[in-house]
Amino acid sequence: MSGPVADSRDLPEPVLVIGSGLIGTSVALALRRAGLDVLLSDRDESCVLTAVEAGAGRALEPSDVPEVVIVAVPPRHAGEVLAEASERWPEATISDVTSVKHGVLVEAVARGADASRLVGGHPMAGREVSGPAAAVADLLDDRLWVVTPLPRTRVEHVRRIHRLISACGALPVEMDPQEHDAAVALVSHAPQVLSSVLAAQLAGTDEDSVRIAGQGLRDMTRIAGSNVDMWSDILSANAGPVADVLQQVASDIERAVDSLRSLAAGETGPPAAVTDLLRSGAVGRGRIPGKHGAAPSAYREVLVQIADSPGELARLFGAAGKVDVNLEDVRIEHVLGRPSGLVGLSVRPDAADALIKALMEQDFDVRG
Amino acid sequence: MSGPVADSRDLPEPVLVIGSGLIGTSVALALRRAGLDVLLSDRDESCVLTAVEAGAGRALEPSDVPEVVIVAVPPRHAGEVLAEASERWPEATISDVTSVKHGVLVEAVARGADASRLVGGHPMAGREVSGPAAAVADLLDDRLWVVTPLPRTRVEHVRRIHRLISACGALPVEMDPQEHDAAVALVSHAPQVLSSVLAAQLAGTDEDSVRIAGQGLRDMTRIAGSNVDMWSDILSANAGPVADVLQQVASDIERAVDSLRSLAAGETGPPAAVTDLLRSGAVGRGRIPGKHGAAPSAYREVLVQIADSPGELARLFGAAGKVDVNLEDVRIEHVLGRPSGLVGLSVRPDAADALIKALMEQDFDVRG
C-alpha cells in the first residue's frame, strides 16, 4: 500500500476462492493470470483437484491466512459460508459472486459475519456450461461486475474488491444490494420465469401447432431450456423482487386480455390498450444497449439468402471479411423442410453499402 | 385435368394476386417462376408497377378472367376483398394469405362470398422487411403454408390451392380455420404480446438496470421491436384465441407470484410451484422442432472465443468450412465493454469433435 499508483504490488494476496464451480474457478484463473497467489477450497475435493490442475491456484492449507475470501457457492449456502469465513479469518475482506445480494448479505450478518469487512459482488458472466473444467481465465473479461457494499462496510475493503475485479479484467459497478436485486429480477430472473411460462404452454399442445412455430418463439423460449435446479435456487433467493416484476407483468397481460376480449365480443375501433402496450414495448426494447454499449438501432441488418451446405457460410464470411467491415451480430433464420437459410449480418449503417456491394459481386443473394 | 400426373399443365391460370405487398408479390414471383400467367392488382397503382417491374406478372385488365384469386391484403380488409372477388369472378377459386383465418373467412361469407369456392391460406414466411421491392421468388421455399378449407368448400378448389402452393415451393398443411387461429395465437401472437409486455417493463427503469441486461433479455425482447400497426391489426383480428392463451399465461404467472410471495414471507422448503413451472417449460421447449424439423437437442454447440475485429469471423468460418461439417446454427454472445465475442456453432453431435479439432489446429480458443 506504499505507492500512489495501484499496480500489482497493491493487490491483496493470498486470495481464497471458496467453491470451485464455473464462476469460482474462472475468477481464480483470472486472479492467477494477474500474478496473484490463489487458494482454493470446495466441499467436493475432486472439484478442487480439477481446478488446481487447470492452474487456478493451490489447495487451501490449515496454515494459510487469506487477505481476501471470495465465496462462489450456490445462493442457498452463500450466507452461511460468508459467516464462517468471516469468523475464521477475522482480518480478511469477505466477498461473494452470488447472483442475489440482499438476502445473502442479511443472512451472512445474521449468522455473525463482520459487516465492516463484507462486500457483496455479482459478475455478470455467462453460464452456458458449468463446473471447474469449463472455467476459463477470460470469462470475466469486459464483463460488468456489480459490487454491493453495506452501509457499515469500510471503504478500504470496498477498494480491495474493486482492484481485484479490475485485475480479473472486469468492470466494477457499485449498486445498493436491494437495487441490484430489483435490477436482476427485471432483466434476468423475471424473463427466465416468463420464458418458462411461455414454453410450458407448448407442453400439452398438438404437433401441428408446434410445427408452425417460427423464430420469435424459438428466441423467447431459449432460456426455458436452462438448468431447473439452479434457477429454482436463484428465484427462491430473490423471491420478493421477482414477484414484484411478475405481478406487474401479469397485470399488464390482464389489461391486454380485457382489451382483446372486448374486441372479440364485437367492440369496434382500434385496441387502444394493446396498441399502447406494443408501443411501450418498442420503447423499452430500444433501451437495451447493443454490443459495446451502442443502441441497437445503431446497426443495420443485411439479409443474405444462402444454400445450407458445408462451406456456404465460410464463403459468405470470407466475402464479408474482404471488406474492412466489422460484423456486430450474426443470426441465422431457421427454415423447416429442405436446406436453405436466411443469414442476418448486423453492421454499422455507414458500412452496410460496402458490405452489400461486396456480397453482390460474389453472387450472394442479398435481401437488403 | 386430363393426365393422371399433376404437372404444370394441370395448374390453373391465370392467377390473380390482389395486394402487391411483400407476401403477395413474393407469391406472384414464385408462381411466375413456375411458368404461370399471373395478374396483379392493388389499391396503390405504384405498388403494382413495382411488382410488374420485378417480373411478378402483369397488371389486371378489365377483360381478364382469373381461375384463381389470391387475396394478400391486411386482415381488416381481407373479408371484404374476398367477397368482392367471389362476386366478380363467379367461377374462380378464392383464397388468401392472411395470418388469421376464422374471422376473415366468416366475414367473407357474411359479405356474400361463395363458400364452396373459398379456401383460406396462411404461408408461414418471414416479415423482416415489407413492400413489393423486398419480395423474392423463394420467400416461400420450404415454408409451411397452412390451408383452411370450410366445410362447404368443394374439394376441387382445395386441390387447386394445394397445387399452387407446391408450385410456389412451399409445403401445404391442412387445418381447420379455428385450429389454425388457436395455433398461431399460441406460437406467434401471444409470444409477441409477451415480448412487448416484458420490454415495456424496461421503459421507465434506470440506466444501471438495463446496463446489466444479458443475452436472455435481448432474445426475449427482439420481436418487441416489430411494426406496431401491423401487430395491432393482427392481434385485433385474432383477439379471442390470443386472449385465451394470454389468460392462461397470466394465471400461470400469478401462481408463480403466489409461490414466490410465500417464500419471501419466510416459508421454507423448495418453491414447488416455481420448480414445476420451470420443469414444464423445459419440456415445452423440447417440443419445438429444430432446423429441418430435427429436435433442438439433436445439435451440440461448440463455443469459440474470438477477437471482435474485421476478418476474425471470416477466419473462423473459413476454418470450419475446411471440415465437411454443416453448421446448423450460429449465435454470437454480446459482451459490453472492450471488443471480444463468444460464438456458438451448432452442429450434429457426430460432427462436433472434427470441428473442435480443426478449430484448435487453427489456434482458435475453443470452449468445448
Between residues B184 and B302, the one the model is more confident about:
B184
C-alpha span between A348 and A298 (Å, rounded): 6
Cα–Cα distance measured from residue A134 to residue B301, given in angstroms and rounded to the nearest whole number: 14
Determine the pLDDT at residue B133: 79
Tell me, yes or no, if A272 comes closer than 8 A to chain B by beta carbon: no
**Residue A83 is which amino acid?**
A
pLDDT tens for B108-134 read: 999 999 999 999 999 988 655 567 777
In a domain? residue B1: no
Q: C-alpha distances in angstroms, A153 versus A158, B17, B78, B223, B305?
A: 7, 71, 66, 43, 37
Alpha-carbon distance of B242 to B185, in angstroms, equals 5
* Residue A209 belongs to domain with CATH number: 1.10.3660.10
Distance CA B21, CA B97 (A): 11
Of B235, B251, B286, which one is at a domain's C-terminal end?
B286
- Residue A2 located in a structural domain: no
A274, part of any domain: yes
Residues 304 to 343 of A: which have CB under 8 A from any B CB? 305, 308-311, 313-318, 320-327, 329-340, 342
The phi, psi pair for B123, rounded to 5°, reads: -75, 130
Do A69 and A52 belong to one domain?
yes
**Residue B1: band (very low, low, confident or very high) from pLDDT cuts 50, 70, 90:** very low
Is the preceding peptide bond at A4 cis, omega within 30 degrees of 0? no
Predicted confidence (pLDDT) per residue in B243-287, tens digit = 999 999 999 999 999 999 998 888 776 678 899 999 999 999 888
Asked whether residue B2 is domain-assigned, the answer is no
Cell of B317: 468460418
Residues B232, B132 share a domain: no
Contact between A324 and A350 under an 8 Å Cβ cutoff? The reply is no
Q: How far is A62 from chain B (nearest CA, A)?
A: 34
| pLDDT tens digit sequence for B53-112 | 999 999 999 999 999 999 999 999 999 999 999 999 999 999 999 999 999 999 999 999
Q: Does A349 lie at the interface with B, CB-CB under 8 angstroms?
A: no
* Any domain includes A340: yes
> Which residues does chain B have within 8 Å of residue A315's beta carbon, measured at their own beta carbons?
321
Q: Are residues B298 and B357 in the same domain?
A: yes
**Angstrom distance (rounded) from CA A343 to CA A333:** 6
Residue with cell 381461375: B67
B141, B227: one domain: no
- Reported in sequence order, the residue ranges of chain A that DSSP labels E, i.e. its strands, are 15-18, 38-41, 58-59, 68-71, 93-96, 118-123, 144-149, 171-174, 300-306, 329-333, 341-347, 365-366
Nearest to A202 among B194, B287, B337 (CB): B287
Q: Which of the residues B212, B223, B287 would you substitute to probe the A interface, choosing the one with the greatest number of A C-beta atoms within 10 Å?
A: B212
Q: Are B142 and A335 a contacting pair at CB < 8 A?
A: yes
Kindly state whether residues B244 and B355 are assigned to the same domain: no
Question: Is residue B142 within 8 angstroms of chain A, CB to CB?
Answer: yes
Q: Is residue A1 part of a domain?
A: no
> pLDDT tens, B317-338?
778 777 777 777 777 765 544 4
Same domain flag for B222 and B83: no
Decide which of A257, A287, A317 is a domain's last residue: A287
A95 and A78: one domain?
Answer: yes
What's residue A9's pLDDT? 54
- Please tell me whether residues B164 and B16 are part of one structural domain: yes
What is the domain range of residue A206?
182-287
Last residue of one domain, picked from the residues B257, B286, B315? B286
* CATH assignment of the domain containing B151: 3.40.50.720
Query: 146-165 in B: which are within 8 Å (CB) of A?
Result: 146
Instruction: Look at the block and give the residue holding cell 476459463.
Output: A136
Asked, for residue A4, whether it belongs to a domain, the answer is: no
Q: How confident is the model at residue A349, as a pLDDT? A: 80
Do B270 and B305 have their domain in common? Answer: no
Number of independent structural domains in chain B: 3
Per the CB < 8 Å rule, is B187 touching A179?
no
B216 occurs within a structural domain: yes
In this structure, are A161 and A52 located in the same domain?
Answer: yes
Chain B residues within 8 A of A141 when measuring between CB atoms: 335, 338, 340
The answer to whether A127 faces chain B, any CB pair under 8 Å, is no
> pLDDT by residue for chain A (368 residues), tens digit each?
333 334 555 799 999 999 999 999 999 999 999 999 999 999 999 999 999 999 999 999 999 999 999 999 999 999 999 999 999 999 999 999 999 999 999 999 999 999 999 999 999 886 555 677 778 888 888 889 999 999 999 999 999 999 999 999 999 999 999 999 999 999 999 999 999 999 999 988 888 888 888 888 988 998 998 888 889 989 999 999 999 999 999 999 999 999 999 998 887 766 788 999 999 999 998 888 765 444 555 678 888 877 766 667 777 877 877 777 777 777 776 554 444 567 888 788 888 888 888 888 888 888 76
Q: Is the model more confident about B1 or about A360?
A: A360
Q: Write down the pTM of the prediction.
A: 0.81
| Chain B contact present for A252, CB below 8 A | yes
Domain match, A171 and A187 both: no
Whether residue B325 sits in one domain with residue B250: no
- Whether chain B has a CB inside 8 Å of the CB on A277: the answer is yes
CATH number at residue B325: 3.30.70.260
Q: Residue A279: list chain B partners with CB under 8 A.
A: 228
